[in-house]
Amino acid sequence: MKREDVPQDGAKAFEGFKKALYALDENGKYAIVSSSGWEAEEIVLEQAIEEYERAAADALARAKAGETSPLEVHMCRRRMDVVLLAQSTGFFRWQVRRHLRPGVFASLPPAKRARYGEALGLDPRELDVLPPSP
């Protein structure tokens, strides 16, 4: 992409800020150019956020019904999936999926809860508390 072709659509998500992109300058070399966003990028971002909000609402309903642990709700609210939460905690993916079961999660030792709390930005005691809404 050339410097003059860098999108400047003023995306709402940027809240007036800009981000750096690489583009070709007049000499054909890559240079950093600021962009205020691109309409297509904003549409995709909004769709992704809506999907995470839907997943969080679904997880909350299942947690209230006792079908999943509160961990899944917090994971979705932080816009994480099993893979990202596993990478953030150092657990294997199969372990995270296992910890999404209410009985298994309830019996987790404090050290494992602390790892989840740190990854999710929560106090480990908050992991058992379901938010009132997603």
Residues 82-120: tens digit of each pLDDT: 999 999 999 999 999 999 999 999 999 999 999 999 999
pTM of the model: 0.77
76 and 102, same domain (yes or no): yes
Query: Is residue 134 situated within a structural domain?
Result: no
Domain count for the chain: 2
108 and 72, same domain (yes or no): yes
Q: Where are the alpha helices (DSSP H) in the chain?
A: 39-64, 70-77, 82-89, 93-99, 102-106, 110-120
Residue 30 per-residue DSSP state: E
Indicate if the pLDDT at residue 12 is higher than 90: no
Q: Is 60 exposed, middle or buried (0-12, 13-18, 19+ CB in 10 A)?
A: buried
42 SS3 class? helix
Rounded distance between C-alpha atoms, residue 7 and residue 78, angstroms: 29
Indicate if the pLDDT at residue 9 is higher than 80: no
Query: Is residue 15 situated within a structural domain?
Result: yes
Paired sense of beta strands 19-24 and 30-35, if any: antiparallel
23 and 77, same domain (yes or no): no
79 and 124, same domain (yes or no): yes
Q: Which domain holds residue 106?
A: 47-128
Q: What is the mean pLDDT of the chain?
A: 91
31 and 59, same domain (yes or no): no
118 and 100, same domain (yes or no): yes
Query: Is residue 67 situated within a structural domain?
Result: yes
31 and 82, same domain (yes or no): no
Residue 83's closest CA among 70, 94, 99?
94
What number is the average pLDDT over the span 24-50? 88
What number is the average pLDDT over the span 9-38? 84
- CB of 114 closer than 8 Å to CB of 108: no
Query: Is residue 21 situated within a structural domain?
Result: yes
End-to-end CA distance of the chain, in Å? 39
17 and 81, same domain (yes or no): no
User: What is the pLDDT, as a whole number, of residue 112?
Assistant: 97
63 and 20, same domain (yes or no): no
User: What is the pLDDT, as a whole number, of residue 134?
Assistant: 61
